[in-house]
Amino acid sequence: MKNNVTPRNHELVMADEDLILSKTDLTGRMTYANEIFKKFAGYKEDELLNEQHSIVRHPDMPRAIFKILWDGIKTKREVYAYVKNLAKDGSYYWTFANVAPDLDLDGNIVSYFSVRRKPDRASLEKIETLYHEMLQAEKKVSRRDSIDASMAILNDYLKARNADYDSFIHEI
């Protein structure tokens, strides 16, 4: 299903105790979503299962963040990211996401899962500014060059703070 939802400026805010959970196959197709996921995203179970996780992708998210996510989990690492998601009615909701691979006994990746918590507000303000700059950089170049363009902004940001992505994400 193609995501043709029009975003609107209406925020849904997670509660402290909310956990938004999902699982996917190796290609990012959803195999599980919990009740809280369905509540925020506004989709019924049968609208989510077997669909790509990008069904909740928000256009304000820089592509470089999803590259970091996939590069990490495909190499058996867990990745944390601030992710703005798009609900079916066009609302948005910010999450602090942990995405990780599920390994079988031989160490092969069999699926991916994610747990999203309520993000810290002060961190979000910084993230929104950074993501905005990354997105602007993506829009200035062709689609082919867009990930490199926004990754360069992120890398400059990290370099100025003498941080790598993993330390930055926990300290911001």
Ligand X SMILES: Cc1cc2nc3c(=O)[nH]c(=O)nc-3n(C[C@H](O)[C@H](O)[C@H](O)COP(=O)(O)O)c2cc1C
Q: Which stretches of the chain bind ligand X, using CB under 6 A?
A: 22, 24, 28, 53-54, 56-57, 61, 66, 69, 83, 85, 97, 99, 112-114
Output the smallest distance, CB 1 to ligand X, in A.
Answer: 12
Output the smallest distance, CB 30 to ligand X, in A.
Answer: 8
One-letter amino acid at 39 equals K
Residue with tokens 């909740």, as numbered in its chain: 56
Closer by beta carbon to ligand X, 84 or else 153: 84
Structure tokens at 171: 């300290």
Closer by beta carbon to ligand X, 81 or else 153: 81
Output the smallest distance, CB 161 to ligand X, in A.
Answer: 25
Closer by beta carbon to ligand X, 117 or else 163: 117
Closer by beta carbon to ligand X, 28 or else 42: 28
How many residues appear in the chain? 172
What lies within 8 Å, CB to CB, of 131 at 6+ separation is 60, 61, 62, 65, 82, 84
What sign results for the dihedral spanned by CA atoms 72, 73, 78, 82?
positive
Closer by beta carbon to ligand X, 83 or else 153: 83
d(CA 65, CA 132): 12
Output the smallest distance, CB 145 to ligand X, in A.
Answer: 15
Structure tokens at 56: 């909740």
Q: Please give the sequence-ordered ranges of beta strands (E in DSSP) within 51-151, or none if there are none.
A: 79-86, 92-103, 109-117
Output the smallest distance, CB 60 to ligand X, in A.
Answer: 10
Q: Please give the sequence-ordered ranges of beta strands (E in DSSP) within the chain, or none if there are none.
A: 20-24, 30-33, 79-86, 92-103, 109-117
